Amino acid sequence: MSFAVINPATEETIVTLDSAGIDETDAAVARAKAAYPAWRAVSPADRGRLLRRLATLVEEHHEELARIESQNVGKPIVGARGEVGMVADVFHFYAGAVDKKHGETIPVAGGIDLTFREPLGVVGLIVPWNFPLNISSWKLGPALACGNTVVLKPAELTPLSALRLAELALEAGIPEGVLNVVVGKGSVVGQRLVDHPDVAKIGFTGSTEVGRGVMQGAAATIKRVTLELGGKSANVVFADADLERAAAAAPYAVFDNAGQDCCARSRILVERSAYDRFAELLVDATRNVKVGDPADDATEMGPLISAAHRETVASFVDGKTLFTGAAPTGKGYWYPCTLVEATNDDRIARDEVFGPVAALIPFDDEADAVRIANDTPYGLSGSIWTQNGARALRVARALETGVLSVNSNSSVRVSTPFGGFKQSGFGRELGMHALDGYSEVKNVYYSTEG
């Protein structure tokens, strides 16, 4: 069956592709399985060399990849360029990391134990539509570095950058069959990868709901899983913060990628004594977010991914709206930046909106801030704004979340671990930690007797 890949800023068809089914998925797993023995036998240093070549090719095709991503996701070109830059950095990082993760030698009675880091085999990588290439690279880098072969399933809405990356991987000299991309529906291709007996692990990024199904499905074959799921992160602003700086940054912590960001700090918690002042500053800063043509270098926010998603986002906004920004009309799935005053019990503060909608929530003191921030089933990201260093560390320790930033929005780095607490998932991507998710420890006892 064929389907149209749409540009969400224009509603135009970019290209029509065939949707893979079970047979194509099985064929890709078979190719990955056939390629596995030779790939795992490549020395770590040589796998690193191939990944470095891929990183260089991504750099050489930087603008092309950024344009593909910008068109297919509707994301501003400047942001897309940054993401492609990170993709290259991720492959450089794992190219350098691959021969630095060693086993141990453990002296024991009668001999010595040796530990080895073994690849898992064929791994299935399932990624969402919001950061298609970036999130693919977070999984591909460590998976390939560790000696696994992969079947990558991009979201059906946004398959284009993964297809181009697979071509570049071949050009880099990564052998055929090592990196396979299958384009098709999650309920078909994704589910088949989850069920397939020859797939050893699923690296999944997406919604908590689908992630729960992946975990259940993986139980049948005791597959390894890492899950990077949804979030409802808090941006905690204390009255002693640099309010101007915090307010200038806050819109980008939730409106970046049109709010379609698992790390979106979509609950803005503000200490009551600074609430009115901060709200005023926040409205001013939000008014300045430039919404429009993703191809324009000046644009800061593009459209949502689809008409259906826009309806879902709109359903969250009712009642106490503090501010609604401007957005283009006509073709494209546009939605304006929206600030809503809420309590933490409101639906807008409970569920992931995944759109440019922020909930402003007042708190009384430090303990109240921590209580509200943690009152969510999610635990992915968050920020703390204060000029009191001791408080920043106290609150950072108290928050139930995998990733945090202090006096900044930014907590995703190539070299640092990324992942969730609670229902935001488990396992860590990026940094050296990600290698643990794509390898298994083997322990060999070697007798020195006789």
Active site residues: 228, 262
β partners of residue 125: 152, 203
The candidate with the shortest Cα–Cα distance to 217, out of 121, 124, 351, 143, is 124
Alpha-carbon span 44 to 50, nearest angstrom: 10
Binding mask 158-197 for ligand NAP (x = CB under 6 A): ---------------------------xxx--xx--x---
Shortest Å, Cβ 210 to ligand NAP: 3
376 contacts 363 by C-beta, under 8 angstroms: no
Q: Name which of 246 and 254 has its Cβ closer to ligand NAP.
A: 254
The answer to whether 354 contacts ligand NAP (rule: CB under 6 A) is yes
Q: Name which of 271 and 352 has its Cβ closer to ligand NAP.
A: 352
Q: Which of 48, 79, 121, 128 binds ligand NAP (CB under 6 A)?
A: 128
Residue 142: both structure tokens together: 């460590």
Q: Which of 340, 373, 380, 435 binds ligand NAP (CB under 6 A)?
A: 380
Q: Which of 24, 83, 89, 228 binds ligand NAP (CB under 6 A)?
A: 228
DSSP string, 130-175: SSHHHHHHHHHHHHHHTT-EEEEE--TT--HHHHHHHHHHHHHTPP
List the interface residues with ligand NAP, window 205-224 (CB under 6 A): 205-207, 210, 213-214
Per DSSP bridges, beta strands 382-385 and 179-181 are unpaired
The answer to whether 229 contacts ligand NAP (rule: CB under 6 A) is yes
Residue 30: both structure tokens together: 């078979």
The answer to whether 313 contacts ligand NAP (rule: CB under 6 A) is no
Q: Which of 177, 231, 292, 325 binds ligand NAP (CB under 6 A)?
A: 231
172 contacts 409 by C-beta, under 8 angstroms: no
The answer to whether 352 contacts ligand NAP (rule: CB under 6 A) is yes
β partners of residue 226: 203
Alpha-carbon span 259 to 293, nearest angstrom: 16
Cα–Cα distances in angstroms (integers) from residue 3 to residues 15, 16, 42, 146, in the given order: 9, 6, 38, 35
Cα–Cα distances in angstroms (integers) from residue 262 to residues 222, 254, 276, 353, in the given order: 27, 10, 28, 10
**Count of residues that bind ligand NAP according to CB under 6 A:** 33
Shortest Å, Cβ 399 to ligand NAP: 16
Q: Which of 93, 94, 129, 278 binds ligand NAP (CB under 6 A)?
A: 129
The answer to whether 103 contacts ligand NAP (rule: CB under 6 A) is no
Q: Name which of 90 and 127 has its Cβ closer to ligand NAP.
A: 127
β partners of residue 106: 113
Q: Name which of 52 and 153 has its Cβ closer to ligand NAP.
A: 153
Q: Which stretch binds ligand NAP (CB under 6 A): 126-134, 244-252, 335-343, 432-440?
A: 126-134
What are the residues binding ligand NAP (CB under 6 A)?
126-131, 135, 153, 155-156, 185-187, 190-191, 194, 205-207, 210, 213-214, 228-231, 262, 352, 354, 380, 420, 424-425
